[in-house]
Amino acid sequence: MTEAEDPSRDRLKHHFAQRVIHQARQILEVWQRLQQSEWSVADMEELSEANQRLLRFAERFEQAEHAQLARGISQSLQEVEANRGRLSSALITDLNRLMQRLSRTGLRHGDRLEHTALPPLRKPIYVMLQDHERGERLAKQLEFFGLSAQSLDSIQAFHATLAERLPAAVVMDVDFGGVGEGLKLAAKMQEGLEQKLPLLFFSHQETDTPTRLAAVRAGGEEFLTGTLEASSLLEKIEILTRVAQYEPYKVLIIDDSRAQATHTERLLNSAGIVTRTLFDPIKTMAELADFQPDLIILDMYMPGCTGTELAKVIRHNDRYVSVPIIYLSAEDDLDKQLDAMSEGGDDFLTKPIKPRHLITTVRNRAARARNLKARMVRDSLTGLYNHTHILQLLEDCSFRARRENKPLSFAMLDIDHFKKVNDGHGHPMGDRVIKSLALFLKQRLRKTDYIGRYGGEEFAVVMPDTDLKSAYGVLDEIRRRFAEIHYPAQPTDLFCTFSAGVVELGEHDDALMMASQADDALYRAKKAGRNQVHTLRDEMMQAKKHPTMDIS
């Protein structure tokens, strides 16, 4: 047997890779926690020490990508130290970019498990059902969505696994290990934990109030009965674990005083908030389009125009009507402050201001604005971007791709024979399949990609910095894996597929043209037999070979 064929060596290599990934996750957990408060010297030291451990592990276990990212993080932290411990917008952006790359690293292609994206805080999901075979099937289904899921068959196995790694969530049968034993085990598991583990209880039969009360006292966040289905379960886990990737708040500071703007910038940067400063208010609209801030800090008195006049100009544009505007000025006349707030402002802060007051106000306002925007631009069923907003994002990305001379791909997907699903299994099953594909796309695509529900059973994906060949490969893999998911139904389980059309930004294309081309490619994928991905380039090549072919 050669060294390459030695299974024990493969197992050892897999174990080393897992240790490196475990350390990477610890860094991501520290990083995500830091976003909740101002950074301190102790925080920086904790992050630096965790990163040094990652570098040591990565070098020792020959994990080149992790080692490269650890060195990048180390260099950024050294720059923070050289800047006397102060963060800048550039350093926050660099660190966040490195953390996002770290979150997307997984096992290498040569390892025993196939490459898997690992978003922040993507700890394992422990599945503990009395019917172990059923638990295995459910865990496998969750893994189709890109999660790490593990089915445990005994209380002893659970204790051993828990000692090795705390999970993101636990799916627990109330009768795991015996009647009512799951409830007791869960309550004991939570003892001594500073942060309680998200618990989802399950019972095959409907239960009485005392059982549900015991579940609540054991820390149960959800109580599921009947049939466990992977996509709906994942949706609940997403809500409970809050695993969405952190994106720093972005604040545009408009102030003609360089000293005041720099001071405001430093205060916000110290809390991990990305800033951009503008000294000429006339350039505001171009800066808004480029930076897309969550919030604007505006001086009241500037040469050329007043803050209230500029606020009116900003509010004239529908895209920025909900972006919070905070006036920051030495003006202490209450009547003038109230008049300013009635002219498009949301708050008025008076200089000098305490750092904590400024940071808390900005963070709270930005958080509410993001939540409001999410409700305005997202589809209620799937949580994906709605039709209007996904096209707006496509337009934004096309401008950026041209400016930076980078590729951009756009895809449209449609669930095959969806009417038969609704007619044969009912609209609730149809909604379940739609939500399932939405979750599947969110799990399988990059955090830098944008996913929208175009309408009905149709979806759209904007893929920045992605050429046509790469986009095709990613979507075709997603198509094959999605077809493996089953939905419990009578008389037999339901399987669904989708078709897709993909295009790449051309020299003279705009967003609407790309959408039309993707729709055309999707139509051809449907016409060719469904459950496949087509590119318009393929069709154009065929048309050149066969001039009589109708590609309209």
Whether 263 and 195 share a structural domain: no
| Domain end among 47, 68, 103 | 103
Phi-psi region of 329 (alpha: psi -120 to 50; beta: other; left: phi over 0): beta
Whether 536 and 391 share a structural domain: yes
- Please choose, from the candidates 388, 346, 126, 98, the residue with its C-alpha nearest in 3D space to the C-alpha of residue 246: 98
- Please choose, from the candidates 285, 229, 204, the residue with its C-alpha nearest in 3D space to the C-alpha of residue 252: 285
Whether 308 and 411 share a structural domain: no
Beta carbons within 8 Å of 360's beta carbon, 6+ residues apart: none
- Kindly report the CATH number assigned to the domain that includes residue 170: 3.40.50.2300
Q: What is the pLDDT of residue 452?
A: 94
Whether 503 and 450 share a structural domain: yes
Amino acid identity, position 19 = R
Q: Can you tell me the distance from the alpha carbon of 230 to that of 143, in angstroms, rounded to the nearest whole number?
A: 9
Whether 394 and 536 share a structural domain: yes
Query: Is residue 108 domain-resident?
Result: no
Whether 73 and 189 share a structural domain: no
Q: What is the pLDDT of residue 107?
A: 35
Q: What is the pLDDT of residue 524?
A: 92
Beta carbons within 8 Å of 403's beta carbon, 6+ residues apart: none
Q: What is the pLDDT of residue 37?
A: 65
Whether 360 and 402 share a structural domain: no
Q: What is the pLDDT of residue 356?
A: 87
Cβ 168 vs Cβ 95: under 8 Å:
no
Q: Can you tell me the distance from the alpha carbon of 186 to that of 166, in angstroms, rounded to the nearest whole number?
A: 13
DSSP H helical ranges for 61-190: 64-82, 89-103, 132-144, 155-164, 181-190
Whether 494 and 369 share a structural domain: no
Signed CA dihedral, 82, 85, 86, 89: sign only: positive
Domain count for the chain: 4
Q: Could you give the C-alpha distances from 247 to 37, 391, 447, in angstroms and in order? A: 14, 22, 10
Q: What is the pLDDT of residue 232?
A: 66
| Domain end among 376, 401, 425 | 376
Q: What is the pLDDT of residue 548?
A: 43
Q: What angle do CA 218, 222, 225 make, to 5 degrees?
A: 110
Whether 396 and 532 share a structural domain: yes
Query: Is residue 111 domain-resident?
Result: no
Q: Mind listing the pLDDT tens digit of every residue in the chain (552 residues)? A: 444 445 555 555 566 667 787 788 778 877 877 766 667 777 788 888 989 988 988 888 778 888 899 999 999 888 888 877 777 888 888 888 888 778 766 433 333 333 333 333 457 889 999 988 889 988 887 876 667 889 999 999 988 888 888 888 899 999 998 988 999 999 888 887 777 788 999 998 888 899 999 899 888 888 988 777 776 677 677 667 654 346 788 999 999 888 889 899 888 888 888 899 999 888 898 888 888 899 999 988 888 888 888 898 998 888 888 899 999 887 777 888 888 787 778 888 888 888 889 999 998 999 888 878 777 888 878 878 999 899 989 998 998 898 889 999 999 999 999 999 988 888 888 888 898 898 888 878 887 899 999 989 999 999 999 999 999 999 999 999 898 888 877 777 788 999 999 999 987 888 889 999 999 999 999 999 999 999 976 555 554 444 443 333
Q: Is 284 helix (H, G, I), strand (E, B) or coil?
A: helix
Q: Is 194 helix (H, G, I), strand (E, B) or coil?
A: coil
Q: Give Rg (Cα) of the chain.
A: 26
Reading the block at residue 201, the tokens are: 């209880």
| Domain end among 376, 405, 432 | 376
Whether 415 and 515 share a structural domain: yes
- Kindly report the CATH number assigned to the domain that includes residue 537: 3.30.70.270
Cβ 476 vs Cβ 533: under 8 Å:
yes
Whether 350 and 306 share a structural domain: yes
- Across the beta sheet with 250-254, what order do the strands follow? 274-278, 250-254, 295-298, 325-329, 347-350
Amino acid identity, position 411 = A
Amino acid identity, position 503 = V
Whether 335 and 263 share a structural domain: yes
Cβ 468 vs Cβ 450: under 8 Å:
no
Query: Is residue 552 domain-resident?
Result: no
Q: What is the pLDDT of residue 499?
A: 95
Q: What is the pLDDT of residue 241?
A: 63
Q: What is the pLDDT of residue 111?
A: 31
Query: Is residue 404 domain-resident?
Result: yes
Query: Is residue 22 domain-resident?
Result: yes
Q: Can you tell me the distance from the alpha carbon of 412 to that of 483, in angstroms, rounded to the nearest whole number?
A: 17
By residue range, what is the domain housing residue 153? 125-241
Q: What is the pLDDT of residue 474?
A: 93
Query: Is residue 204 domain-resident?
Result: yes
Q: What is the DSSP string of 412-468?
A: EEEETTHHHHHHHH-HHHHHHHHHHHHHHHHHHS-TTSEEEEEETTEEEEEEET--H
Query: Is residue 110 domain-resident?
Result: no
